[in-house]
Chains A and B, each alone.
Chain A
Amino acid sequence: MSMAMAGILIAIPASIFVLLALTWKMLPRGGDFLVVLGFLAVWLLGLGIAADFTKYFHEGVFAPNGANAFAFDWINIGDGLFHIQFSTWVDSITVVMIVVVTTVALMVAIYSTGYMRGEERYGWYFAALSLFVTAMLTLVLSGNLLQLYFAWEGVGLASFLLIGFYWERQSAAEAAKKAFITTRVGDVGLLIGIVLLWREAGTFDIQQIIEFAEHGGFNSTYLTVSMLFLFLGAVGKSAQFPLHVWLPDAMEGPTPVSALIHAATMVVAGVYLVARMMPVFDVVPAAREVVLYTGLITAVMAATMGLVSNDIKRVLAFSTVSQLGFMFVALGMGAVGVAMFHLLTHAFFKALLFLGSGSVIHATHEQTVEHLGGLRKKLPITTWTFCIGSLALAGVIPFAGFWSKDEILHTAMHDAPFAYVVLAATAILTAIYTTRVVLLTFWGEPKDHHAYEHAHESGWTMAGPLVFLSILAVFSGFVVFHSVGAALGFPGGILETVYTEEPELFHFDPVFAATAVGMSLAGIGIGFAYWWGDAQRAVRARAWAPELHALLVNRYYIDDLYQGIIDRVVLGLGGIVAAFERHVVNESGVDGGSQLIGWFGMRLKFLQTGRIPNYALAMAVGVVVLAVMAFRSA
């Protein structure tokens, strides 16, 4: 029964997208109610699938019986030689993703009806949202890699459309292009990885590939290379170093889009992919190590960059990149359950933070933190929900972020101690920059009085989702407990439901937890010390190390490096190709061909003398030649 529902889960937003794309100009209110209702239906169906899913556990172990999979042949050449299907596969990872995607999508849709009101292409916005949800759900439900790749591209397309929603603005168009091209680099890697895997395994089906790998069907080096290519796709889509450059710029899109796509759902597609293929990564630990280090570097780099950013959305973007790094570190250690747990909690509190910042932007029409301040008096709901989200991000007990981050640190302490040190430092940085943003935005004296005067709290369409998400940000961490999980119908807490090798029971380590909370509070304290009041300390710190500050503000000059490579290498090669095309193909080939014919014509025209004796001679020569030939052959 769940499988039919899985198909409907994709069909609903797909049909809404088609309908809206064609008719949004004619529908009242651009058809936004269709989208909200559709997402509501999808959310309920998703919860239904999650509830249904519990019956696939036998004595606490996931025992799929084939009813959780569905396959429909599209192309089948040579009886399995080349086989493309539409297939779905539902397991615990899928269920977590479905819950995340549908919940955040619904919240964002409701929020958007308030935030995007009065926009010129209001209906098209919702159409693109539906397209995104369709592609995302297809991605998480995919049973085979080729379908996953199609959906991967689909979410990329939706992201492009939505980042460039305000395409009249040059910066938005550039950002959309940058996002698409950067993820494209990753996508090429993903495709190469998929093809390499298919080449040896003979199938695109994920479960079959996992079985093939576990039985040693792949050559070890070959598999490592393939998985690294696959991971390249994840690096692109999840904005990890070195393909992280697009996410901060993607903030040009509308804020609900940032909440949905660039915080909670699309960027976690890379995490999902690695989690899904984790049994294969386990066969080649070297590739897993690369995942670990990539995540580690990204986490700390992004946290440092978030520290100096002045745009409220950009800080959150760097924060997202950093937290995704945390998830990849967890995956690099093979801890799929931990990574998915952090994915879940992060989705809720990050979406909350983004929507909250959207509320601020909607109220003040200002994004720059240095122009804000003292907004807590004017925007109470926003302020307190934002604070809840920030505490969750900083990892303060009992908020959701604490539980998942603590699990990652715990696993790191046991499996990769040096990673623990780096992550701990990053956690402190996280707390610092979060506090900075909160203090500069909501506390202190307003720095731009014009913005401050006009600020007003948002309506219920925007405040409602904020409140709902803040509840989730508080309570969603508790799913790690066995009792909570069991109460929901699962065999246990989230770590007992989502796993690769075997379920692990969650143990609460008070000492460890106290250390972690202590670090977070220390970070918050530092934040207060520097940015409370008139933030004199921060100003002096900046003056004390201007080069360091410039390095961070310019994002380690990586964007400039890429632009330089593009300008010199890519455009240089392009220039060569263009010159070739212009001179060889066009001028010599095409023009030259016609000119050659003209040249011959100018010379050959003198044969046409118009004089009959000349023509008679020509005929005579022909006859003589024929006669000689005939004579010779005779």
Chain B
Amino acid sequence: MISLNHYLALSGVLFALGFYGVLVRRSAILILIAVELMLAAVSINFVAFASYLDAKLFTGVIFAIFVITIAAAEVGLALGIVLRIYRERSTANVDEASTLKW
């Protein structure tokens, strides 16, 4: 039987993987990909709770809809910024964006 805990564990692992990606990746776009992973993990979490525990109101499902919407908007905007930065500095490497450095 697939219990709620299965889905939660999966979402946890997926979140951790995305987390790792955010910390480690050098290109801004790859970081965005990792962020998308984290958002997907969160969606699974919400929908799992909604389906198992909240069958009448399924608020979690609605929430997940919004998460996906906002994720899409965010990716669009973030990529716009990345493109702009790339145009100015001809690199998308986040390590290079260090003008606040001592």
Contact = CB atoms under 8 A, between A and B. Distances in A.
B19 A606 contact: no
Interface stretch (A33-41, A149-157, A609-617): A609-617
Contacts of B23: 613, 616-617, 620
A219 interface: no
A608 interface: yes
A609 B102 CA distance: 7
Contacts of B26: 613
A608 B101 contact: yes
Contacts of A414: none
Contacts of B99: 610
Contacts, number: 32
B66 to A, nearest CB: 23
Contacts of B24: 613
A610 B94 contact: no
A199 interface: no
A609 B98 contact: yes
Instruction: Give the size range of A's interface with the partner.
Output: 10 to 19
Chain A facing B: main interface SS: helix
A450 interface: no
A173 B26 CA distance: 80
Nearest to A609: B101
Contacts of B92: none
Nearest to A610: B101
B88 interface: no
Contacts of A608: 100-102
A613 B101 contact: no
Interface string B1-43: 0000000000000000001001110100000000000000000
B93 to A, nearest CB: 10
B97 interface: yes
Given A612-B98, A613-B94, 14 more contacts: A605-B102, A608-B100, A609-B101, A609-B102, A610-B98, A610-B99, A611-B97, A611-B98, A611-B101, A612-B97, A613-B24, A613-B95, A620-B19, A620-B22
Interface of B: 19, 22-24, 26, 94-95, 97-102
9 contacts: A609-B102, A610-B98, A610-B101, A610-B102, A611-B98, A612-B94, A612-B98, A613-B24, A617-B23
Q: What 6 pairs across the A-B complex have the smallest Cβ distances?
A: A610-B101, A610-B98, A610-B100, A611-B98, A608-B102, A605-B102
